[in-house]
Amino acid sequence: KQEVTQIPAALSVPEGENLVLNCSFTDSAIYNLQWFRQDPGKGLTSLLLIQSSQREQTSGRLNASLDKSSGRSTLYIAASQPGDSATYLCAAGSGAGGTSYGKLTFGQGTILTVHP
């Protein structure tokens, strides 16, 4: 059974800092890994999707990397801003084939606070 762990559980940083959020998964036979952002009381917004054949993806100030062999992914946020404050979730997508296609297993999330 896939298990996903996110470290740290919470992070508070001053504005402008570069930061790294960590995600680890136990079963390396993933199809993809997806990073989400969730604001309080809101739904999930997809930030980055890394397919299993890729090593990293970038979108603006965000960069996500994937190392399947070690079961790790990191989300790097450059020059953090107060608007980045939210919960960040990573989710591992199950492999191809059969009815397990595309199922996501989520970590517990990292609560990020960026203060001015």
Partner 1 sequence: DAGITQSPRYKITETGRQVTLMCHQTWSHSYMFWYRQDLGHGLRLIYYSAAADITDKGEVPDGYVVSRSKTENFPLTLESATRSQTSVYFCASSATGTREQYFGPGTRLTVT
- Which residues here bind partner 1, judged by CB under 8 A? 31-32, 34, 36, 42-46, 49, 51, 89, 91, 93, 99, 101-109
- By beta-carbon proximity to partner 1, the closer residue of 65 and 87 is 87
- By beta-carbon proximity to partner 1, the closer residue of 76 and 106 is 106
Q: How far is the CB of 112 from partner 1 (least distance, A)?
A: 16
Prior bond of 8 cis (ω within 30°): yes
Backbone φ, ψ for residue 111 (5° rounding): -90, 115
- By beta-carbon proximity to partner 1, the closer residue of 80 and 87 is 87
The type of residue at 105 is T
75 neighbors 90 (Cβ within 8 angstroms): yes
Q: How far is the CB of 69 from partner 1 (least distance, A)?
A: 21
Q: How far is the CB of 28 from partner 1 (least distance, A)?
A: 17
Bridge-partner residues for 62, per DSSP? 59, 77
In total, the chain counts a number of residues equal to: 116
